[in-house]
Amino acid sequence: MPTEVWTGLFVGASILMYLYIGWSSRVSDSKGFFVAGQGISAIANGAATAADWMSAASFLSMAGLISFLGYDGSIYLIGWTGGYVLLALFLVPYLRKFGKYTVPDFIGERYYSNWARLVAVVAAIFISLTYIAGQMRGVGIVFSRFLQVDVNTGVIIGMIIVGFFAVLGGMKGITWTQVVQYYVLIMAYLIPAIAMAMLLTGNPIPQFAMTFGDISTKLNQIQVDLGFAEYTQAFANKSMLDVLAITTALMVGTAGLPHVIVRFYTVKDVRSARFSAGWALLFIALLYTTAPALSMFARYNLVNTLHNATIEEVQQLNWVQKWEKTGLLAFEDKNQDNRLQLTPDETSNEISIDSDIIVLSTPEIANLDPWVVALVAAGGIAAALSTASGLLLVISSSIAHDVYYRIIDPGASERKRVFVGRVMIAFALAISSYFGMNPPGFVGQVVAFAFGLAAASFFPIIMLGIFDQRTNREGAISGMLVGLVFTSFYIIGVKFFDMPTWCFDISAEGIGTLGMILNFVVTLVVSRVTPPPPPEIQELVEDLRVPEDIVTEEPNLAA
């Protein structure tokens, strides 16, 4: 069967499965809608967390960025995986014991202030909208290729699908959908990687094929011959300081991402939260240790297929014809020699390829079976939809629970709270779809901005809220505002208004590290020159730092 038929079968079947789960998991109470009734098992929550975590940036864009950046692309691997370990060890048990199920809820209660809650809500929405824009962009790219529509139409299709199971099932529907989506995306990632490892090196284990085979030596020589730096050369594309800044921003930003933190409130107790964090780390490692190998194989095949080929040869390739229609792959014979040249100089480079299509196009470039190509498409959609749904619930709960219920109408009924949550999901979908159609960069870059914002706003406040009794509401509010405003100003200025990277030449992706430092400094200084928190808050923090194996008292969601 042709690729399009296989794709229709795999993508259609997976989407119908997601819609069925969303329908069968529909809820009417706020506990089910916002925290899945806190009845998810540790291993299921681990799979759901991994799917929530491994977004379109991980599945689609990360391997593409590593293929283009080489060694320097490891910042995404180190930052994201290191950040998850940081989150699992230092934050998850304490936040789960605290008993609140959103980050703004934790901040509002810990810092005894609705103003602090409101600032946290603004930060959560800002971060989530930035993050979800990358997911919607990823969905649009997949649909644009395999349905032969433009990217914007693909975004709209994805919006309708994710909106269905998110609106109906809330966190319960999202969780069980994400469990299925994890298995779809991990199989879609591992199967082509194993096949390519076998074809290129004779070793079926991608990690070993990359490490012990001669593929890296061959690729390094090809890179040098074309005028690029060696693929494995460190700091060829970014300075050492910028690599450190981006890696740190991704790491601490991970520990402050609200859609990941909320996943650990869907289990029944602290012990289950710890186990689910361990399972999630194992599930994540399967993809993250495979990504560098897939990136190397993809770069090798891409260069060998396109460089120095004639226009006629390239135009006859089926995958080229399909990707050219999306506008994400283009050629220009600048020197009129009828051959395409891949060079590091943009003025002479004749091959333009969007890094977000590397993973999707690689099975076709490697001439793998059509069903493998279709499976990768289904995996890309699963990765994007799983994270998008989690982010939508963060936006919904931030407004419906933390603003509407906690501040505007504390007496709101269960039905009204769920209704407001569903309306907010629809509202968030409309805004995120717009940014998915008009993204400020590649999927991976857009997501990196979200991590920077989380690093600059949430991470210091959560850490100090757990480990420093003296941090008060004045310090928390000041620190969040300074970190968020500074980081947002820098990112928007650099990406939209051509502002130079005046801060030590740190890129927009890495500026969250400096925003985090400013947040820490401002929070600590302001907290020390203003009155300390009330005694009951200090006692709460003291008790919080000794996590229990089992939480005997469940949080009262109506409190």
Supply the CATH number for residue 48's domain: 1.20.1730.10
Q: Could you tell me if 306 and 282 lie in one domain? A: no
Q: Answer whether residue 554 is part of any domain.
A: no
Note whether residue 12 is domain-resident. Answer: no
Clarify whether residues 343 and 374 are in a common domain: no
* Cα–Cα–Cα angle for 30, 453, 270, rounded to 5 degrees: 45
Q: Are both 480 and 501 inside the same structural domain?
A: yes
363 found inside a domain = no
Phi, psi (degrees; rounded to nearest 5) at 353: -135, 130
| Domain-located, residue 13 | no
Residues 289 and 306 in one domain: no
Query: Is there a single domain that holds both residue 89 and residue 173?
Result: yes
How many Å apart are CA 326 and CA 35, to the nearest integer?
Answer: 39
Whether residues 52 and 129 fall in one domain:
yes
Residue 15 counted as domain residue: no
Both tokens assigned to 185: 């995306």
pLDDT in tens, the chain (559 residues): 777 788 888 888 888 888 788 778 777 677 777 777 778 888 999 998 888 777 776 787 788 889 988 989 888 888 888 888 888 888 888 888 887 667 888 899 999 999 999 998 888 888 887 777 777 777 777 777 667 777 788 888 878 887 776 676 677 777 888 888 899 999 999 999 999 999 999 999 999 999 887 899 999 999 999 999 999 999 988 899 999 999 999 899 887 777 777 788 788 888 888 888 889 889 999 999 999 999 999 999 999 999 999 989 998 898 898 888 878 889 998 988 999 999 988 888 999 888 878 888 889 888 899 899 889 888 888 887 777 777 777 788 888 878 888 888 888 887 888 888 888 888 888 887 787 777 655 555 566 677 888 899 999 999 999 999 999 999 999 999 999 999 999 988 888 788 999 999 999 889 999 999 999 999 999 999 999 999 999 998 988 876 554 444 444 444 4
- The verdict on residue 467 lying in a domain is yes
Same domain as 171, residue 43? yes
Q: Which helix (H) or strand (E) is 119 found in, with range?
A: helix 114-146
Contact partners, residue 221, CB within 8 Å, separation at least 6: none
Please indicate, yes or no, whether residues 349 and 385 belong to a single structural domain of this protein. Answer: no
Please report whether residue 360 resides in a domain: no
Please choose, from the candidates 300, 291, 445, the residue with its C-alpha nearest in 3D space to the C-alpha of residue 359. 291
Distance CA 231, CA 296 (A): 8
Residues 264 and 346 in one domain: no
361 within domain boundaries: no
Same domain, 146 and 208: yes
Q: Are residues 154 and 110 part of one domain?
A: yes
Q: Which domain holds residue 37?
A: 23-293+368-544
Whether residues 98 and 161 fall in one domain: yes
Is residue 40 classed as helix, strand or coil in its secondary structure? coil
Number of domains in the chain: 2
